[in-house]
Amino acid sequence: MTPAILFVCLGNICRSPLAEAALRAEAERAGLDVLVDSAGTSDWHVDCPPDARAIRQAQRHGIDISTYRGRQVSAADFHRFTHIFALDGENLKNLRRIRPADGTARLALLMDMVPGCEGRGVTDPYYGDEAGFAQTWDDVTRAARAIVAAFGTIRQ
Ligand code: 4NP
C-alpha cells in the first residue's frame, strides 16, 4: 500500500505547502513512492496560491509551488491519508477535534519525526519577514528527511 501523507497548517499558504514541496523532493531523491498533499484547518485561503514569500523560498531550492492551491482539511482526509502531520500544536488540537471516530489516518505533530525536536511546532512565518520562511524551509526539510528515513517504521 502506497503511503499517503497530508501536511496541515492554519492557512495552507505558508508552512504546509513548503512541507509538501520538501517531502516531494526528498521522496523523489530517495526513489520512494508516496502520495503527498497539504491542507489548512481554516478556509481563509481556499483556492489561493501559496504566499509569495513561500513561493520564493521554494524557488531558491529549485522547486515551483506556484501552482499549488489552498484547500481546507476535511473529515474524508482521515480516510484518504495514512498519515496526517500537523505543523503545530494548535492545528493538531483542531485536527483531533474534527477527526471522525472511524478515521484511519495516524495523526502526529510533524516535528515529532525529528529527534530532539519532539513536541515542537513549526513557527508560523506569516506575520514575520523573509528569514522566517528560510527557518520554515529548514524545519520542514529536516522533517521530510526524517519521514523518508523512517518510512519502514511508520508504514501501517
Ligand atoms: P500557514 O500561515 O498556516 O503556515 O499557511 C498562515 C497563513 C495565513 C494566515 C495565518 C497563518 N492568516 O492569518 O491569514
Domains of the chain, first to last = 4-150 (3.40.50.2300)
Q: How far apart are CA 32 and CA 59, in angstroms?
A: 22
| Secondary structure (DSSP) of 23-69 | HHHHHHHHT---EEEEEESSSTTTTPPPPHHHHHHHHHTT---TT--
Asked if residues 57 and 79 have their Cβ atoms less than 8 Å apart, the reply is no
Q: What is the pLDDT of residues 113-129, one digit of tens each?
A: 999 999 999 999 999 99
Q: Catalogue the active-site residues.
A: 9, 15, 124
97 C-alpha to ligand 1 centroid (Å):
19
53 CB near ligand 1 (under 6 Å): no
13 CB near ligand 1 (under 6 Å): yes
122 CB near ligand 1 (under 6 Å): no
**What are the cell numbers at 63?**
522547486
Taking only the tens of pLDDT, the chain with its 156 residues reads: 889 999 999 999 999 999 999 999 999 999 999 999 999 999 999 999 999 999 999 999 999 999 999 999 999 999 999 999 999 999 999 999 999 999 999 999 999 999 999 999 999 999 999 999 999 999 999 999 999 998 855 544
Asked if residues 51 and 12 have their Cβ atoms less than 8 Å apart, the reply is no
Helix count and strand count (H, E) for the chain: 6, 4
18 CB near ligand 1 (under 6 Å): no
In this structure, which residue's CA is closest to atom 7 in ligand 1? 11
**CA torsion sign, 98 to 102 to 103 to 105?**
positive
Task: With CA atoms as reference, report the closest residue to 6 among 102, 93, 75, 97.
Answer: 75
Q: In this predicted structure, what is the pLDDT of residue 154? A: 54
Q: In this predicted structure, what is the pLDDT of residue 156? A: 43
Out of 7, 38, 85, 124, mutate this one to test ligand 1's pocket (max ligand atoms within 8 Å of CB): namely: 124
In this structure, which residue's CA is closest to atom 12 in ligand 1? 11
Q: In this predicted structure, what is the pLDDT of residue 1? A: 80
Q: In this predicted structure, what is the pLDDT of residue 141? A: 98
Q: In this predicted structure, what is the pLDDT of residue 155? A: 46
